[in-house]
A and B are shown apart, each in its own frame.
Chain A
Amino acid sequence: AQRVTQPEKLLSVFKGAPVELKCNYSYSGSPELFWYVQYSRQRLQLLLRHISRESIKGFTADLNKGETSFHLKKPFAQEEDSAMYYCALQQPGNQFYFGTGTSLTVIP
């Protein structure tokens, strides 16, 4: 069965420090993984997906099939990065399985 695990519910870092939000998955097929972000009082929105291999707002995520991980990283955190981050596994048909989320706070 598919599963997405985000082990940290809360994460605080200082502005300018590196940040890593962890995500592990369990899926029998070839996974399609995404990171969604929800800023305060805004709707859930796509941050990045592994197939595009882009860097969005300074964030990157590499799919590691050996470790079944898709950790989100940014070398220098900014205050505007404070938000709720969800890792999601996409099933065929655009159906998503989400992790429980990590609330990131960047301390000025």
Chain B
Amino acid sequence: ETGVTQSPTHLIKTRGQQVTLRCSSQSGHNTVSWYQQALGQGPQFIFQYYREEENGRGNFPPRFSGLQFPNYSSELNVNALELDDSALYLCASSAGLSNTEAFFGQGTRLTVV
């Protein structure tokens, strides 16, 4: 059984650019959630995908968008990057929507300059 993997581990982008982050969910998991963790803060919920459909969204602007594929892997896209988007982006997968454990990836460290 493989765990949650995220790619890339680090990247640097320029303000105004667009970025795509990727997440492979744990085997058997059909639910993926994305979180943004700014320095010194706890993870903040961005949105969640369940069986390829968005199922809940936190307080993030529309330039944060996502996708889930038939194999339940997922992408997080951020357009028109701002300096404040610099953060660690975490992906978590779980088996369904009921009270199950969420397993986190190592995260992608995004720096916007």
Contacts and interface: CB of A to CB of B under 8 A. Distances in A.
Interface stretch (A39-47, A60-68, A74-82): A39-47
Interface string A14-39: 00000000000000000010000000
B44 to A, nearest CB: 7
Nearest to B90: A44
B25 interface: no
Interface string A45-72: 1100101000000000000000000000
A44 B43 CA distance: 10
A100 B31 contact: no
B94 interface: yes
Contacts, number: 62
Contacts of B102: 46, 94, 96
B97 interface: yes
Contacts of A49: 99, 101
Interface string B9-39: 0000000000000000000000101010000
A32 B98 CA distance: 11
Q: How large is the interface on B (under 10, 10 to 19, 20 to 34, 35 or more residues)?
A: 20 to 34
Interface residues of A, number: 24
A6 B98 CA distance: 25
A12 B35 CA distance: 28
B56 A44 contact: no
B40 interface: yes
B45 A94 contact: no
B68 interface: no
Contacts of B45: 95-97
A93 B43 contact: no
Interface string B28-63: 000101010000111111001010000110100000
Given A93-B50, A93-B55, A98 B101 contact: no
